[in-house]
Amino acid sequence: MQAAWMTFYRDAASIGCHAFLEFSGLMAKFIDLCRQAEASGEPWLRANVHSGQHLAFEGHDVDYLLEKLECIYGMHFRLDQRVPAAPPAEPRRRGRASVR
């Protein structure tokens, strides 16, 4: 997944469309959440709405994803009443895996 993300990031950056480049942030967060799940021994390979398995999220993860979606699509997600407010952000832990 890391190699696919790096290829997408490089190609997206060369296009010059900032909103399109933000999709790489969504992918990077997904990779980060999968790494955390794997480190915790949680299954992640089939985590999606169809399987009923899910990745663990914290408040700051939701905030980050919402920020990326807003950059791509505008304020629709924050203004839409169907989208619940994110839970309060928890302090970030040091030593977490990151995607570089």
Candidates 44, 57, 48; CA nearest to 86 is: 57
**pLDDT score, position 95:** 45
Residue 70 has pLDDT above 60, yes or no: yes
CA–CA dist 3, 23 (Å, integer): 15
Residue 92 has pLDDT above 60, yes or no: no
Identify the band that residue 94 occupies on the pLDDT scale cut at 50, 70 and 90. very low
| Averaged pLDDT of the chain | 84
Q: Read off the pLDDT of residues 3-24 as tens digits, 9 standing for 90 and up.
A: 999 999 999 999 999 999 999 9
Residue 99 has pLDDT above 80, yes or no: no
DSSP string for 54-97: -----HHHHHHHHHHHHHHH-THHHH-TTSPPPPPPPPPPTT--
